[in-house]
């Protein structure tokens, strides 16, 4: 019942914050354009009016790109630098935007305010940024300890068959994926606590997040699995629709753009639903027990 109540409350809070999600979507669109616009210009300049563009209309053609010669090196260099810029800028912007979103998901927030969104995003930026960095580093550390090192040791052994190496890789990867939701839960509780109580520093918030994760282990873990499942279903929908869509005219390209952006917005709404659900569960936990005065 606690899970259902938190999910319902989280959905209501996410729907109330649809304008905040729209701001996040717009910022992501602007960030990605820093990489896609120069790439499109570079490809257009490299191919020019070549007949090879007719082959590209049929789908991805590796031979066409390999024939670019020196222009390919320039494209790879500019794309790599653009990707690094978008990744780093996106990581920083995510802390700001997530802080703004969490402020609109608290129980005290009755109506979304753009001013409060940006104000709280700036106020809690550093705490959210440090929490994101620490959680990311823990994820990276665990992936090295649990997956990379055992896999390298086993794969270098001459006494273990290829099937054994494959099965070991599957097992350690599954074990890592089982642990991963715990870090996401701790991050959500930490950010929710920091947003609801300004007196908490990032370190206290992070400590609260981990303690709350294990204190409410099963409700939190099961709720995270349900939310991740919903995101996975949407991800499969995106993978099944977009790659096979081959627009044949300008109208088809425009429709593809609209559909892809709507799916991206839906993905952001699902993530906001997750934030709202864990905020609701955290607030329910913090409420005093009236049966024990």
Per-residue pLDDT 10s for the chain (293 aa) are: 789 999 999 999 999 999 999 999 999 999 888 877 766 666 666 555 544 444 444 544 445 445 555 555 666 766 777 788 888 999 999 999 999 999 999 988 778 888 999 999 999 999 999 999 999 999 999 999 998 888 888 877 777 777 777 888 888 999 999 999 999 999 999 999 999 999 999 999 999 999 999 999 999 999 999 999 999 999 898 888 877 676 656 666 678 778 888 999 999 999 999 999 999 999 986 654 444 44
- What's the pLDDT at 39? 66
- Residue 172 corresponds to which tokens in the numbers above? 């350690």
- What's the pLDDT at 109? 79
**Enclosing domain of residue 227:** 2-284
- What's the pLDDT at 288? 47
65 in a structural domain: yes
293 in a structural domain: no
| C-alpha torsion angle, residues 162, 167, 168, 173 (rounded to 10) | 130
* Number of CB atoms found within 10 A of residue 279's CB: 26
- What's the pLDDT at 12? 95
Residues 101 and 131: their CA atoms lie apart, in Å, by 16
140 Ramachandran zone, left/alpha/beta (phi>0; psi -120 to 50): alpha
The pTM for the full model equals: 0.86
- What's the pLDDT at 51? 44
Residues 127 and 125: their CA atoms lie apart, in Å, by 6
- What's the pLDDT at 273? 97
290 in a structural domain: no
* Number of CB atoms found within 10 A of residue 246's CB: 10
91 in a structural domain: yes
Specify the length of the chain in residues.
Answer: 293
159 in a structural domain: yes
> Number of structural domains, the chain?
1
The DSSP output letter for 147 is: I
166 in a structural domain: yes
292 in a structural domain: no
């Amino acid at each position: 019942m606690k899970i259902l109540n938190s999910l319902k409350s989280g959905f209501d809070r996410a729907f109330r914050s649809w304008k905040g999600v729209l701001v996040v979507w717009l910022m992501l669109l602007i960030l990605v354009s820093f990489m896609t616009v120069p790439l499109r210009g570079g490809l257009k300049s490299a191919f020019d009016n070549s007949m090879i563009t007719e082959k590209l209309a049929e789908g991805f053609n590796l031979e066409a790109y390999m024939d670019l010669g020196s222009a390919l090196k320039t494209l790879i260099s500019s794309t790599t630098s653009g990707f690094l810029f978008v990744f780093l800028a996106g990581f920083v912007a995510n802390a700001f935007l997530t802080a703004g979103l969490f402020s609109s998901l608290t129980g005290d927030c009755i109506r979304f305010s753009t001013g409060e969104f940006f104000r709280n995003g700036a106020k809690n930026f550093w705490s959210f940024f440090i929490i994101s960095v620490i959680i990311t580093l823990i994820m990276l550390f665990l992936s090295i300890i649990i997956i990379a090192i055992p896999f390298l040791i086993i794969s270098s052994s001459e006494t273990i068959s290829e099937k054994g190496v494959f099965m070991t890789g599957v097992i350690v990867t599954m074990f890592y994926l089982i642990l991963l939701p715990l870090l996401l839960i701790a991050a959500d509780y930490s950010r929710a606590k920091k947003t609801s109580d300004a007196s908490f520093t990032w370190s206290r918030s992070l400590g609260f997040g981990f303690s709350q994760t294990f204190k409410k282990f099963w409700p939190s873990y099961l709720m995270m699995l349900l939310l991740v499942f919903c995101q996975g279903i949407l991800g499969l929908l995106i993978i099944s629709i977009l790659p096979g869509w081959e627009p044949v005219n300008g109208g088809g390209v425009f429709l593809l753009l609209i559909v892809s952006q709507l799916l991206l917005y839906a993905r952001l709404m699902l993530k906001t639903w997750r934030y709202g659900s864990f905020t609701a569960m955290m607030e329910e936990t913090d409420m005093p027990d009236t049966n024990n005065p």
